[in-house]
Structure 1
């Protein structure tokens, strides 16, 4: 049986440790933390600083940040606070710090994801590039030996074909940038055959042809694939699917946000997986954390952002 479905030799959760070890050998990066006004987001930023991943610039209402720190016994000595009146202003100012060159990363605090994304994608004042902004979960699944990427489960609700091209390319660039090699990319649907009654199968086939024509580069694509024959060699064998990707996928591209979000949360809450999250396609990586994230997941998200940002400095073509 293929090693992709064997229990990890690190007994489940070991993939993050490798990424965090790599990031710990790099210089910490200045990070604008937008509105860290609750215990989880403030402690997460400080823990990432203690781990040597980031140098946080806390952007938010100074009295609220200080009150949270005092209530939780958190030491803010030497940490810069950029005072703002409210969450929308915090997001806008955090983006400005990146545009000014004072921050190399952006991290979501306790505000809504929509507020951060609105500031990032603002036409004249945001962090737009030529790419569509998209989200990737970097999953550490106990019975999957490699990190498993799931995209897009947090930003693009019903992406069209052009958006999916960017979503796929963003994920490929991240996989390569983290030093994980050329990825095997499964374009998911409910079935593995192309049928007009399921539009996502047609888009999956089109994406694979786009890769053949050089419109998507750096990865091996196959699709449409149902989830079972994307990650199970036995399921792929039974269905008679022969490809470098089937049964061994490293990136799972969901047909829409609903499917991707349910898949990621299913793995998290029913299979015990960890789910680090990052937003790509902007000028800098964006660390998108959740209130349900563990300390380990928050640190892994920061490590991934640092590694990818450094890779983009070395390889300017990554990320568009």
Structure 2
């Protein structure tokens, strides 16, 4: 299992247009949808009848630069296949960009049903070499880039619910195995992705009253990032063999979570890789002891060691030896 973000991905998805399919009539926003996982998600939603807002800032693998080309190409690809899509090229890690993202869906299609937060990039360093700018940049695009669109969309859905138009709204956030277990050389990315899991749980609890379900995925796929970092395990297979690391393998679950068919599923984290889907079970109370009074330090240490002897060993951090 490896960590990921949305990056370059090959292979398209047939668009079924807006006439039928699991997401017929729904309007879906996908951030970071110009390449890799986000592109695969956008195409898959369109193939199930959704109208799609394709967001991408068009930055490089490290977040530098910017271009409207990737978002527009994916929107054009959906349109050429008979679907309906518009491009949005704003920075969703800003208040203005998040507001314009939701406004684009409402202005173009009159509604918003599903938000897929996927945008991100990597700046990997070992902790002792990780500068503050690299920390801030990764936290900004991943964590703030999830929070701001989620907050804006949630405000819209709350207003709809209070007006008597209860939505069947869905949010799918993009976490990572790095956020669940940690990943050597990815302290900033791991912290951001762990924060996304926490944000998902809180949002699911707070927004359920307004008809909003919030879940997260921790996917593994071949993208611009993973091809560079995990060249051997992410290599494409010979022609004709199942491509286990294709981004398109992740999208079916995302589409289902983003549809009305996922009714009742919220506050969950799923690992998704190749043909495997796993429900991740987070922190739960393990062995415990209660002295009833304050511990002395040596006694507390002895109790901790006895509890650890009874506890499950943690899974290793990715990349640890």
Give the TM-score, by structure 1 length. Answer: 0.35
Rg larger in structure: 2
Higher relative contact order, chain-length normalized (CA < 8 Å, sep 6+):
1
TM-score between the two structures when normalised by the length of structure 2: 0.35
